[in-house]
Structure 1
Amino acid sequence: MAMLILGGAVAAAGVGCGSDSSIDYGVHTNDHGENPAMEKKVITVDSTERIEQNQQLGLTAEGTIKGKAPGILLRVIVQDVFETSFTDGTKAPPGMRVMAVEVQIVNAGSRVFNDSPAAGTTVVDAAGKKYTSLPGAVAVDGGEVFPNPFGLQPRDQRTALVPFVVPVGVNIKQVGFRVDKGGESGLWRVP
């Protein structure tokens, strides 16, 4: 299984990466005005080279990720991670809070992408624990949630949210995105 590691200080034991070396190609920002002095840097290299170098991406950096099936190729940008709330009456369990990951997906392949982005997105806390997105359809404050089912034609793009419920006090440090079962995955660091 091809695995692409794109993210911050990734512990080898935490994500199954074979190396603790890393390459930092610049500073990144989430483009929401927190630090206008920082610049966005887009990194695009061959996926084999990314795997070998354990390349890191920050928020707003683009990763090109291949699916298992021929013709599935996505350009993915994790734009933001923020705390939010449900707007459809759904309640977070006691001691939990609602987070959303804003993801932009561009279909750079030759086939329709028919997988749910929410199914392939995870968040990882500072201790290395992974959280999966919420099953089913919910609505959150801050934007539209990716629909399920989801279809994206070649050359089309979509930006939407993937919601999560995580314990209060948990610090989200990484966002993972997998194209499909058996496809590549990417990992972005969260400041």
Structure 2
Amino acid sequence: MRRLAMLILGGAVAAAGVGCGSDSSVDYGLYSNNHGENPAMEKKVITVDSTERIQQNQQLGLTSEGTIKGEAPGILLRVIVQDVFETSFTDGTQTPPGSRVMAVEIQVVNAGSRVFNGSPAAGTTVIDASGKKYKSQPSTVSVDGGEVFPNPFGLQPRDQRTALVPFVVPVGVNIKQVEFQIDKGGESGLWRVP
């Protein structure tokens, strides 16, 4: 019995020592998807250096995955910009003359330990070839091709959602980049659009 108590105490001391190092640039996030929505992502562990992650998040290609940390502790998202395509409003909203409606399809996975209550649409912008940025349309609109992210939007840890973020851009403008920022003080990702 005494030996068992020492083993338990030794294990507790070892567990308490995890994460006590001085390297604050390492983030540990565990994502385990047991819902069967995306088996390729099941039980994937995130252990990346913040500097390396931020650099990688600025060089993402379409369909690449970015790991984006929020300002608040426990907020960590895995984001994939899956597609950018032309669409149209289906709720009676009028497209301004000389403009067209674009949709960005985004998959958001909550890889953190807290509920993500931000709005993916509010944190998403598209950038044209000249560097001009365009803000998303309100979440109250509907577009052809899929569901628009609702606002408010709550995503529990380990859950995921794929939806659209709509934009109105001038005719002839080519979207070259999609930027996603998790919140005002958090990290962002930048995806290149071919």
The bucket for the TM-score relative to the shorter chain is 0.7 to 0.9
Provide Cα deviations, 1:137-157, integer angstroms capped at 9, x if missing partner.
100000000011100000000
Greater C-alpha radius of gyration: 2
Letter in 2 for 1:159: T
Task: From the superposition, tell whether residues 156 and 91 of structure 1 become closer, same or farther in structure 2 (CA, over 3 Å).
Answer: same
Report if aligned partners of 2:125, 2:133 keep a CA contact under 8 Å in 1. yes
Query: Which of 69, 72, 75 is the matching residue for 1:72?
Result: 75
Query: Which of 116, 120, 125 is the matching residue for 1:122?
Result: 125
TM norm structure 1: 0.75
Cross-structure match for 2:150: 147
- Runs in 1 of length 4+ with deviation above 4 angstroms? 52-55
After the TM superposition, which of the residue ranges 45-54 and 141-150 deviates more from structure 2? 45-54
Letter in 2 for 1:85: S
Instruction: Compute the displacement of 1:57 (Å).
Output: 1.0
Gaps of at least 5 residues in structure 1 are: 1-43
Is residue 167 from structure 1 mapped to residue 164 from structure 2 by the alignment? no
Bigger share in strand: 2
Task: From the superposition, tell whether residues 178 and 55 of structure 1 become closer, same or farther in structure 2 (CA, over 3 Å).
Answer: closer
Provide Cα deviations, 1:77-110, integer angstroms capped at 9, x if missing partner.
0000000000000011100100000000000000
Instruction: Compute the displacement of 1:52 (Å).
Output: 4.9
Instruction: Compute the displacement of 1:47 (Å).
Output: 3.0
Report if aligned partners of 2:57, 2:189 keep a CA contact under 8 Å in 1. no
Number of residue pairs matched?
A: 149
Cα separation, 2, equivalents of 1:135 and 1:181: 18
Work out the percentage of aligned pairs sharing the same amino acid: 87
Report if aligned partners of 2:76, 2:111 keep a CA contact under 8 Å in 1. yes
Instruction: Compute the displacement of 1:54 (Å).
Output: 7.3
Cα separation, 1, equivalents of 2:56 and 2:153: 32
Higher relative contact order (CA 8 A, sep 6+): 1
Task: From the superposition, tell whether residues 99 and 110 of structure 1 become closer, same or farther in structure 2 (CA, over 3 Å).
Answer: same
Bigger share in helix: 2
Cα separation, 1, equivalents of 2:183 and 2:122: 9
- SS in structure 2 opposite 1:69? coil
Cα separation, 1, equivalents of 2:58 and 2:71: 21
Alpha-carbon RMSD across the aligned residues, in angstroms, is 1.7
Provide Cα deviations, 1:24-73, integer angstroms capped at 9, x if missing partner.
xxxxxxxxxxxxxxxxxxxx853311335775111110000000000000
Cross-structure match for 1:94: 97
Map 1:8-157 to 2 at 5 A.
45-52=48-55, 55-157=58-160
TM norm structure 2: 0.73
